[in-house]
Amino acid sequence: MIEPVAVIGAGPFGLSTAAHLRARGIPVRVFGDPMVSWRDHMPAGMILKSTPAASSLDCPQRGHTLADYCDAAGIRRLVTDEDIIPVETFIGYGEWFQQKLVPELERVRVVSVGRYKPAGFELKLDSGELFTARAVVVATGLSGLAHLPAELGKAAADGPAGPVSHCSQHHDLTRFSGRELIVVGAGQSALETAALAAEAGAQVRVVSRGRGKVAFGAPPWDQPKLRPESPFGRAWSLWALSYYPHPYRYLPAQTRHYLVRRVLGPLGAWWLRDRFEGKVQVHEVAAVTGADTFDGAPVLTVRTHDGGTDRLTADHVIAATGYRVDIAAMDFLGPELRTRVAVSRGAPKLGAGYVSSVPGLYFTGLPAAASYGPVMRFVCGTEFASPRLAKHLAAAHA
């Protein structure tokens, strides 16, 4: 029997990769909970920051774009840059895509991956099944990579029920109704979490590091016209990073890591401004230096811009402090495999076709951003990644 390829992950990247592999006739087993990051780890009522043109899962089969889903579901077609995408619609799209193109998805977790011979892998599932695969694609996305800075980490040990939590631990923000909430961060996730909690009846303050960091993008009709269009707005840098990520991995490591953090970095979506301003307070600080609890409530210690120290209290603190790729946190990869994967600041170093330094072991989505650029943090990155990964894998493991 021909050993299958294992795709670990059923978010946009796993599903898109699986669709490409299947279209090439490659036997594939796909594992994961479809669209779980969007369903359980983002707030209900959220709206996607990406435009409809940048929110389709890539596949070689025609008829599977977000607009095709809208037609099939009998809802209004989302196509122009002014059309906003509710997260619930996007989840419905991902699940529809999965049912049509990856129907054999197995809703189980992969608990371990190890090498079983020079050219293959042994996987263990949480059903207890052991099997071998000729290649493995890691598409586990945001899972396990939520980042809490050290100064907040201690107070966050109790999870969402404790005084400090990460935004990925919340789906239903109505639980903060009538309570005081601090949101740490200035990116889209922080600003939208704050707006949604305020709309749910919470009294919300955003604590932002630096000055003037809380800002919103220009609406589509005010975007500069003389710059090239990209899925993220009009700018030469965004255009190059979206359509030409090939040379990215040849840039110096420092530049690559900087760009992943900075390009498409903290900026609220244009449609969020009116829901945020006047409803959420912004507290600018030089730095958050610590978090403690007093009588079960969080106390944030901050350094003020004049060099003093302040203490901020609330009923709860949500850290919207992003995600950080660290292969050490991917504990389903066996220790021997993890130590053999060449990394740069915790992220796997990938070659052509998204293959790591271990032949047959591929990474796509967020873990590939350090090699292929910030576009890999977004759904539209599937357009570049999935066909190339599938082509490389087909050639190397036919």
Ligand X SMILES: Cc1cc2nc3c(=O)[nH]c(=O)nc-3n(C[C@H](O)[C@H](O)[C@H](O)COP(=O)(O)OP(=O)(O)OC[C@H]3O[C@@H](n4cnc5c(N)ncnc54)[C@H](O)[C@@H]3O)c2cc1C
Binding site for ligand X (CB under 6 A): 8-14, 31-33, 36-37, 42, 48-50, 109-110, 139-143, 189, 332, 365-366, 377-379
Task: Please work out, in degrees rounded to the nearest 5, the angle formed at the alpha carbon of residue 272 by the alpha carbons of 271 and 273.
Answer: 100
- Helices within the chain (DSSP H only): 12-23, 36-40, 66-73, 87-101, 150-153, 188-199, 236-243, 253-262, 273-276, 335-340, 369-372, 381-396
Cα separation, 48 vs 32, whole angstroms: 22
Q: Cβ of residue 303: shortest distance to ligand X, in angstroms? A: 27
Q: Which residues pair with 183 in a beta bridge?
A: 206, 318
Q: Which is nearer to ligand X, 338 or 377 (CB)?
A: 377
Cα separation, 378 vs 251, whole angstroms: 20
DSSP state of 351: -
Q: Which is nearer to ligand X, 14 or 360 (CB)?
A: 14
User: Cβ(43)–Cβ(66) under 8 Å?
Assistant: no
Q: Cβ of residue 8: shortest distance to ligand X, in angstroms? A: 5
Q: Cβ of residue 88: shortest distance to ligand X, in angstroms? A: 13
Q: Cβ of residue 365: shortest distance to ligand X, in angstroms? A: 3
b or e along 57-83 (b: 16 or more beta carbons within 10 Å of the residue's beta carbon)?
bbbeeeebbbbbbbeeeeeeebeebeb
For residue 369, what are the CA distances in angstroms to 195, 325, 348, 381? Answer: 29, 9, 9, 9
Query: Which residue in 268, 281, 332, 286 sits closest to 123, CA to CA?
Result: 332
Q: Which is nearer to ligand X, 142 or 156 (CB)?
A: 142
Q: Cβ of residue 31: shortest distance to ligand X, in angstroms? A: 4
Q: Which is nearer to ligand X, 109 or 349 (CB)?
A: 109
Q: Cβ of residue 242: shortest distance to ligand X, in angstroms? A: 11
Q: Cβ of residue 289: shortest distance to ligand X, in angstroms? A: 25
User: Cβ(121)–Cβ(132) under 8 Å?
Assistant: yes
Q: Which is nearer to ligand X, 12 or 298 (CB)?
A: 12
CA 87 from centre of chain: 14
Task: Give the residue closest to ligand X by C-beta.
Answer: 141
Q: Which is nearer to ligand X, 176 or 312 (CB)?
A: 176
Query: Which residue in 99, 27, 25 sits closest to 57, CA to CA?
Result: 99
Q: Which is nearer to ligand X, 41 or 303 (CB)?
A: 41
Q: Which is nearer to ligand X, 204 or 312 (CB)?
A: 204
DSSP state of 291: E
Q: Cβ of residue 19: shortest distance to ligand X, in angstroms? A: 12
